[in-house]
Structure 1
Amino acid sequence: MTRRDLLRMIGITAGSAVMYQAMAGMGAIKTPPKRAATKLEGSVHGTSVLILGAGLAGMVAAYELRKAGYKVQVLEYNARAGGRNWTLRGGDSYTELGGETQHCQFDQGQYFNPGPWRIPYHHTALLGYCRELGVQLEPFVQVNYNALVQATGYFDGKPQRFRTVKSDYHGHVAELLAKATSQGSLDKEVSKEDKEILLESLRYWGGLTKDFRYTMGPQSGDRRGYAKEAGGGLNAKPEYSQPMQLHDLLASNVWQNLIVDGAYEYQTSLMQPVGGMDMIGKAFVREVGQVIRYNAKVTNIEQDDRGVTVTYQDTLKPGAPQVAKADWCLCTIPLSILSQIPIQVGAPMAAAISAVPYLASSKVGLQFKRRFWEEDETIYGGISYTDSPLGMLSYPSHGFGGTKGVLLGSYTFGMQAFEWTALSAAERVRKAVEYGQQLHPAYSREFENGMAVGWHRAPFTLGCFGLWSDEARKDHYDNLCQVDGRIALAGEHASYLPAWQEGAVLSSLDAIERLHARVRAGSRA
Structure 2
Amino acid sequence: MDGKHHTPMSRRDLLALIGTVAGSAAMYHAMTSLGFAAESTYNGPIKLNGDPNGASVLILGAGLAGMTAALELRNAGYKVKVLEFNSRPGGRNWTLRGGDTFTELGGNSQTCEFAPGLYINPGPWRIPYHHRGVLDYCRRLNVALEPFIQLNHNALLHASNGFGGKPQRIREIQADFHGHVSELLAKVTQQGALDAAVSKQDKEILLAALRSWGALDSSYAYKSSLIAAGHRGFDKAPGGGRGAAPIAGTPIELSDILQSRLWRYLQSFAQFDFQTTLFQPVGGMDAIGKAFARELGDLIHYNARVTRIQQGSDGVTVTYADTDAQAAVHQEKADWCICTIPLSILSEIEIDVGAPMQAAIEAVPYIASVKIGLQFKRRFWEEDEAIYGGISYTDLPIGQIGYPSMDFNRSGRGVLLGAYLYGLPSAYEFTALTPQERIADAVEFGSRIHPQYRTEFETGVAVAWNRMPFTLGCAGYWTEAARAQHYDNLCQIDGRIVLAGEHVSYMPAWQEGAILSALDAVTRLHQRVMKS
Does TM-score exceed 0.5, indicating one fold? yes
For 2:512, the equivalent position in structure 1 comes to 502
Q: Is the 8 A contact 1:18 1:262 kept in 2?
A: no
Q: Is the 8 A contact 1:82 1:281 kept in 2?
A: yes
For 2:416, the equivalent position in structure 1 comes to 407
For 1:514, the equivalent position in structure 2 comes to 524
Matches within 5 A, 1:339-418: 339-402=347-410, 403-414=412-423, 415-418=425-428
Matches within 5 A, 1:79-228: 79-228=87-236
**Distance in 2 between the 1:291 and 1:382 partners?**
39
**Distance in 2 between the 1:31 and 1:471 partners?**
21
Shift of 1:298: 0.5
Please give the secondary structure, in 2, of the residue aligned with 1:149: strand
Listed one character per residue, the Cα deviations across residues 14-41 of structure 1 (whole Å, up to 9, x for unaligned) are: 74569999xxxxxxxx986751311111
**Distance in 1 between the 2:436 and 2:65 partners?**
33
1:257 corresponds, among 265, 289, 305, to: 265
1:327 corresponds, among 332, 335, 348, to: 335
Question: Does 1:443 pair with 2:456?
Answer: no
Shift of 1:431: 1.1
Which stretch shifts more, 418-427 or 496-505? 418-427
Shift of 1:125: 0.6
**Distance in 2 between the 1:485 and 1:395 partners?**
48
Listed one character per residue, the Cα deviations across residues 403-439 of structure 1 (whole Å, up to 9, x for unaligned) are: 2211000011232111112211011111111111111
The residue identity in structure 2 corresponding to 1:444 is R
Shift of 1:153: 1.9
**Distance in 1 between the 2:172 and 2:207 partners?**
22
Which stretch shifts more, 402-411 or 509-518? 402-411
**Distance in 2 between the 1:343 and 1:31 partners?**
32
**Distance in 2 between the 1:477 and 1:43 partners?**
31
**Distance in 2 between the 1:290 and 1:57 partners?**
17
Q: Is the 8 A contact 2:44 2:136 kept in 1?
A: no
Q: Is the 8 A contact 1:13 1:173 kept in 2?
A: no
The residue identity in structure 2 corresponding to 1:447 is F
**Distance in 1 between the 2:26 and 2:530 partners?**
48
Listed one character per residue, the Cα deviations across residues 154-201 of structure 1 (whole Å, up to 9, x for unaligned) are: 213210000001111111111111111111111111111111111110
**Distance in 2 between the 1:235 and 1:32 partners?**
53
1:59 corresponds, among 53, 67, 70, to: 67
Cα distance change of structure 1 residues 373 and 451 upon mapping to structure 2, 3 Å threshold: same
**Distance in 2 between the 1:498 and 1:326 partners?**
29
Listed one character per residue, the Cα deviations across residues 427-467 of structure 1 (whole Å, up to 9, x for unaligned) are: 11111111111111211211110100000111100111000
Aligned residues between the structures: 507
Cα distance change of structure 1 residues 301 and 89 upon mapping to structure 2, 3 Å threshold: same
Q: Is the 8 A contact 2:226 2:247 kept in 1?
A: no
**Distance in 1 between the 2:132 and 2:234 partners?**
40
For 1:480, the equivalent position in structure 2 comes to 490
For 1:3, the equivalent position in structure 2 comes to none
Listed one character per residue, the Cα deviations across residues 95-134 of structure 1 (whole Å, up to 9, x for unaligned) are: 1110000011011100000000000000001100000000
**Distance in 2 between the 1:161 and 1:319 partners?**
54
**Distance in 2 between the 1:296 and 1:19 partners?**
42
For 2:7, the equivalent position in structure 1 comes to none
The residue identity in structure 2 corresponding to 1:252 is S
Please give the secondary structure, in 2, of the residue aligned with 1:115: coil
The residue identity in structure 1 corresponding to 2:67 is M
Please give the secondary structure, in 1, of the residue aligned with 2:332: strand
Shift of 1:289: 2.8
| Contiguous gaps of at least 5 residues in structure 2 | 1-15, 30-37
| Contiguous gaps of at least 5 residues in structure 1 | 1-7, 22-29
1:453 corresponds, among 451, 460, 463, to: 463
1:42 corresponds, among 40, 50, 67, to: 50
Cα distance change of structure 1 residues 18 and 294 upon mapping to structure 2, 3 Å threshold: closer
Cα distance change of structure 1 residues 120 and 417 upon mapping to structure 2, 3 Å threshold: same
The residue identity in structure 1 corresponding to 2:125 is W
Question: Does 1:288 pair with 2:296?
Answer: yes
Give the TM-score normalised by the residue count of structure 2. Answer: 0.93
Listed one character per residue, the Cα deviations across residues 385-411 of structure 1 (whole Å, up to 9, x for unaligned) are: 011111001000011012221100001
Q: Is the 8 A contact 1:14 1:170 kept in 2?
A: no
**Distance in 1 between the 2:508 and 2:19 partners?**
25
Shift of 1:11: 7.8
Shift of 1:315: 1.2
Shift of 1:321: 2.4
Q: Is the 8 A contact 2:507 2:513 kept in 1?
A: yes
The residue identity in structure 2 corresponding to 1:465 is A
The residue identity in structure 2 corresponding to 1:219 is I
Please give the secondary structure, in 1, of the residue aligned with 2:433: coil
For 1:431, the equivalent position in structure 2 comes to 441
Q: Is the 8 A contact 1:218 1:240 kept in 2?
A: yes
Give the TM-score normalised by the residue count of structure 1. Answer: 0.94
For 1:242, the equivalent position in structure 2 comes to 250
Please give the secondary structure, in 2, of the residue aligned with 1:478: helix
Shift of 1:319: 4.5
Listed one character per residue, the Cα deviations across residues 324-375 of structure 1 (whole Å, up to 9, x for unaligned) are: 1000000000000001101100111111101100000011000111111011
**Distance in 2 between the 1:58 and 1:34 partners?**
17
Q: Is the 8 A contact 1:54 1:83 kept in 2?
A: yes
Q: Is the 8 A contact 1:75 1:292 kept in 2?
A: yes
Cα distance change of structure 1 residues 103 and 44 upon mapping to structure 2, 3 Å threshold: same
For 1:463, the equivalent position in structure 2 comes to 473
Shift of 1:214: 0.7
Shift of 1:322: 1.1
Q: Is the 8 A contact 1:17 1:261 kept in 2?
A: no
For 1:493, the equivalent position in structure 2 comes to 503
**Distance in 2 between the 1:461 and 1:16 partners?**
30
**Distance in 2 between the 1:153 and 1:319 partners?**
54
Q: CA RMSD in A?
A: 1.9
Shift of 1:485: 0.5
Cα distance change of structure 1 residues 233 and 20 upon mapping to structure 2, 3 Å threshold: farther
**Distance in 2 between the 1:348 and 1:513 partners?**
22
For 1:78, the equivalent position in structure 2 comes to 86
**Distance in 2 between the 1:159 and 1:260 partners?**
17
Shift of 1:300: 0.6
Listed one character per residue, the Cα deviations across residues 233-268 of structure 1 (whole Å, up to 9, x for unaligned) are: 011111111111111111111001001221000000
